[in-house]
Structure 1
């Protein structure tokens, strides 16, 4: 995994260029809050936790992602819909060490599917779409 400043979200592949791209389904894109990464790091006694450790596609700041439950939202030109929570897996013990799984419980972020293709960039706001 490597960070990029611009990406394309597509309903047919999810995040273009993602090794785990999915042509359909509920987990095309994963999002995690920067604040959650700080909380996990704190629980583990670490100074910081790099976003790629949790293998989420997008890192957000300043929004409670769970408030998007059952909602559509826009990032840049793309439209997404939250499809669920991203729960930790047991492999986090291998990655983060003992306690890694428990440290991430409740902080794993969300999953979403792409409804409309669009370009997203670092700094784009997440805007809930009220229908």
Structure 2
């Protein structure tokens, strides 16, 4: 339970400048200690939900369960799409994404807006696949293609 077969990879980065505003897709972002990503609306919050991650491998399942051919990560409003490592297994653990050190705090459950976004049943289509919330322990830069690696305690 303390091993990962390999490092993951950052496949997509999105910033949510404000509630109900389109997600800004970027190639890199600055993670701020105790906050979140610069330019994201959660940067000034408590820090527990500073950065949200979702599993790339779950996107086709969410699409299939919601009756869509594909799902654009921007509509799910997570900050990072990560492949190759099970993000929910990082809950309660510290991990590096690029030069930033994060700590998984809680599952990132879907919200009722997924009923509008994905259609009726969208909330349940995402259930258990909403990803992970993380706090920024040490700030740094996160870029497309960066490794996502668990840090041994």
Secondary structure at the residue paired with 2:96? strand
What is the TM-score normalised by the length of structure 2?
Answer: 0.81
Residue 20 of structure 1 and its aligned partner are, at CA, apart by 3.2
CA distance in 2, matches of 1:124, 1:56: 17
Secondary structure at the residue paired with 1:112? strand
Judged with a 3 Å threshold, the aligned counterparts in structure 2 of structure 1 residues 23 and 43 are, in CA distance, closer, same or farther, namely: closer
Q: How does 1:26-65 map to 2 (within 5 A)?
A: 26-65=48-87
Residue 42 of structure 1 and its aligned partner are, at CA, apart by 1.0
Uncovered stretches (5+) of structure 1, i.e. residues with no partner: none
Residue 23 of structure 1 and its aligned partner are, at CA, apart by 4.4
Secondary structure at the residue paired with 1:15? coil
- Tell me if 1:111 matches 2:111: no
Uncovered stretches (5+) of structure 2, i.e. residues with no partner: 1-22
CA distance in 2, matches of 1:12, 1:87: 21
Alignment match of 2:102 (pick from 76, 80, 104): 80
CA distance in 2, matches of 1:126, 1:49: 22
Runs of 4+ residues over 6 Å off in structure 1: none
Question: Would you say the 8 A contact 1:11–1:24 is kept in 2?
Answer: no
Secondary structure at the residue paired with 2:44? coil
Residue 70 of structure 1 and its aligned partner are, at CA, apart by 1.1
CA distance in 1, matches of 2:97, 2:52: 13
Give the structure 2 partner of residue 6 of structure 1: 28
Question: Would you say the 8 A contact 1:11–1:23 is kept in 2?
Answer: no
CA distance in 1, matches of 2:113, 2:25: 22
Residue 12 of structure 1 and its aligned partner are, at CA, apart by 4.2
